[in-house]
Amino acid sequence: MATNKCTRAEQPHIKASSNRYRASRLFSLQTFFQSRSFTELDRFSSQTSRCFFARFTIFASVLLFASIVDAIPLKPRASAINVASCTDPSVQLVEHDCNVALLGLGPGGIAGAIEFLRVSAQSTSFTSGTCKVTATAVDGGTTIDISKGRLEGHGSTNGGFDNLLTACGPSPGSMVIGGGALPTGNIEIAISAA
């Protein structure tokens, strides 16, 4: 579709000082707009509105997603189970003292026929000679309720006192044992110097 460009070079018969030039200029603009159909203008405005709507939709979606993510409560990450953290390998404790301290945990200890360590507190500890052993409920636990077998571990993939001694030797360190805390959570067993 040809457009009517209204410049003096293309239309030499129009004089710049006459009203006829202004009228012709106005007439040229009118014919320009009249030559455009309303469907072309509608198409342009609909493309513009679609572009605006798309951008608005994306912006609103991002805001909605951000508000949903912000509303989700954060949960503390659970401790790594059966992973030893040896804090000071240069300090050597007596292994027998550590074993005696383990069996002394809780009210009355867990030596002999006793099968469970049940403590109505979040932490319990016992010291024997050079070694102090502490059991603490972690990851949401408020009380300790763990079987003697689980606490000792004996090579279990769930962690335990024996696994801690194997990894760190009789030196200060800690390990998380899976389960054993109420209402939910795990038990951290720690060895330290007395």
CA–CA dist 116, 106 (Å, integer): 10
Percent of the chain exceeding pLDDT 70 equals 69
Least confident of 3-17, 122-136, 161-175: 3-17
- Token readout for 140 is 């949401």
Does the structure show a pLDDT above 60 at 81?
A: yes
> Any idea which residue has 């109505």 for tokens?
120
Question: In sequence order, what are the residues at sequence separation of 6 or more whose Cβ sits closer than 8 angstroms to the Cβ of residue 60?
Answer: none
Q: What are phi and psi of 136, to 5 degrees?
A: -130, 135
pLDDT in tens, 133-148: 999 999 888 999 999 9
**Mean pLDDT value of segment 48-76:** 76
Query: How is residue 42 annotated by DSSP?
Result: H
pLDDT in tens, 11-44: 555 444 555 555 555 555 555 555 555 555 555 5
The pLDDT of residue 14 is 47
Higher pLDDT, 1 or 69: 69
Strands 131-138 and 85-86, bridge-based pairing: unpaired
Count the neighbouring beta carbons within 10 Å of the beta carbon of residue 50. 10
pLDDT in tens, 96-128: 999 999 999 988 889 888 889 999 999 999 999
Closest CA to 174 of 107, 110, 96, 80: 80
